């Protein structure tokens, strides 16, 4: 089963080749079965928007509202940096 249909609603890569998802924290958790956190550091570290001036306020606010929630981090602006390969 492809985990992306259930867990990757916001991602532009969810219908592409699974190999493109390798740097994503959700791939490591659901595709490889690794017990890794789905937290903001994992996502923001591989997101192309991490240094965007246009999204700086959105990203800061999103991280603030989700910090210490105890739930998996989620971001509808997450865009995987395809140049990053963080296996």
Residue 86: predicted pLDDT: 47
pLDDT tens for the chain, 87 residues long, are 689 999 998 888 888 899 999 999 999 999 999 998 899 999 999 999 988 999 999 999 999 999 999 899 999 999 997 655 544
C-alpha 83/C-alpha 81 separation (Å) is: 5
Residue ranges of alpha helices (H) inside the chain are 4-7, 25-26, 40-44, 56-66
**Domain-by-domain residue ranges, the chain?**
4-66
CB 59 within 8 A of CB 28: no
Residue 83: predicted pLDDT: 59
pTM for the model stands at: 0.82
Residue 2: predicted pLDDT: 84
Cα 40 to chain centroid distance, Å, stands at 8
Rg of the chain's alpha carbons, rounded to an integer? 13
């Amino acid at each position: 089963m492809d985990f992306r249909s259930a867990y990757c609603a916001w991602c532009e890569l969810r219908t592409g080749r699974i190999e493109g998802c390798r740097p994503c924290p959700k791939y490591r958790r659901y595709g490889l079965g690794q017990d890794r956190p789905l937290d903001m550091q994992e996502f923001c570290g591989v997101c192309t928007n991490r240094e965007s001036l246009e999204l700086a306020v959105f990203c800061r606010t999103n991280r603030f509202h989700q910090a210490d929630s105890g739930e998996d981090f989620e971001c509808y602006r997450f865009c995987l940096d395809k140049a990053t390969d963080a296996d």
